[in-house]
Structure 1
Amino acid sequence: MPKGYWIANVTITDPQAYAAYQALAPEAFARFGASFLARGGQCTAMEGRDTPQRSVIIEFPSYQQALDCYHSEEYQKARSAREGAAKVEITIVTGV
């Protein structure tokens, strides 16, 4: 079964409010076996968009677990806490 990945581009607009998301999200990631491959650091958009403040790649044991994590009660609680604190794009993809 191929792994699943979240690819997220994040620009934080309210760091103080975003901290609430950062406190809550790890519970969901731990529950679904997530492993961070890239989190923040240097990035440069080469085509199609402005460079986000942060790019994040999260690996899950399966595509289904990646989806389940996003839809989980734990993650949706974290997502609600993040509302208005960041501009976020998340794409979930299968691995090869």
Structure 2
Amino acid sequence: MRKGYWIALVDVSDVDGYKSYIAANKAVFEQFGGHFIIRNGEKEVVEGSLRSRVVVIEFKDYQTALACYRSPEYRAAMSLRQPFSQGDIVVVEGYEESAA
């Protein structure tokens, strides 16, 4: 089964306000087995454009990644994020190379 991922590109307008979202999303991601692969490390845009934060969260499969995003628990956490940031989030199925 292919893993599922959230890829989020975010600009935060109020870091202190955004901290309430960070605190709230921890329990939600734990509930759905999500864990951070990338959480805004050092980066260099080598082509195109980008927001200030890059986040990648891995889940056991695509359906779980979607279920987490659509859950009432995440919707509550999201309401804490929206006043303090703008972003783009995509939920994507991971790639598995077929054995030849």
Superposed CA offset, 1:49-94 (max 9, x none): 2x32110111000000000000111111110011120111101100
TM-score w.r.t. length of structure 1: 0.91
Unmatched segments (≥5 aa) in structure 1? none
Aligned length: 95
Residue number in structure 2 paired with 1:63? 62
Cα separation, 1, equivalents of 2:66 and 2:43: 25
Unmatched segments (≥5 aa) in structure 2? 96-100
Cα separation, 2, equivalents of 1:44 and 1:7: 17
> Are the counterparts in 2 of residues 11 and 53 from structure 1 also a CA contact under 8 Å?
yes
Residue number in structure 2 paired with 1:81? 80
SS at match of 1:57: strand
Residue number in structure 2 paired with 1:4? 4
> Are the counterparts in 2 of residues 45 and 52 from structure 1 also a CA contact under 8 Å?
no
Amino acid paired to 1:4: G
CA RMSD across the alignment: 1.1
The ranges of structure 1 where at least 4 consecutive aligned residues each deviate by more than 4 angstroms after the TM superposition are none
Q: Percent identity?
A: 42
The yes-or-no answer on 1:94 pairing with 2:93 is yes
Amino acid paired to 1:78: A
Residue number in structure 2 paired with 1:38? 38
Larger Rg: 2
TM-score w.r.t. length of structure 2: 0.88
